[in-house]
Amino acid sequence: MNHEKQIDLQRRRRTWRVRKRIRGTSGRPRLCIVRSLKHTYAQIIDDSKGCTLAAAATTESDLKGQVKYGGNKAAAEAIGRAIAQRAIAAGIKQVCFDRGSAKYHGRMAALAEAARKAGLSF
């Protein structure tokens, strides 16, 4: 097995390990965070209905003006504030945090703390 396939398999295993414990419901949907090198994306998902209730990303035109670069902590904080505001506007106050295959560190932690300060609880 080459190195890239092994890393991809490890990342998928970490994602499955985290996600098997986390399930979004109507009362407490899942806050799913995805990072790429250039951008950060956040979605609030109700797994029982299979629909996205709120979303925010650094690729959006209104958030592009706020952040200079989408792949750093400042951008993650802006996404955290935006997703919290959109969730509260949709009537969502509690979520369960899905970090996927990433550590709770750096951009993940910055986004989570910004969302907590903006009013989400998890």
Summarised one tens digit per residue, pLDDT across range 69-115 is: 999 999 999 999 999 999 999 999 999 998 888 889 999 999 999 99
Which of 61, 48, 53 minimizes the C-alpha distance to 83?
53
Residue found by looking up tokens 């995805």 in the block: 34
Supply φ then ψ for residue 98, to 5 degrees. -115, 110
pLDDT one-digit tens code per residue, 24-42: 777 899 999 999 999 999 9
What structural domains does the chain harbor? Answer: 3-117 (3.30.420.100)
Tokens of 114: 């910004």
CB count within 10 Å of CB 67 equals 18
Taking the model in full, what pTM does it have?
0.83
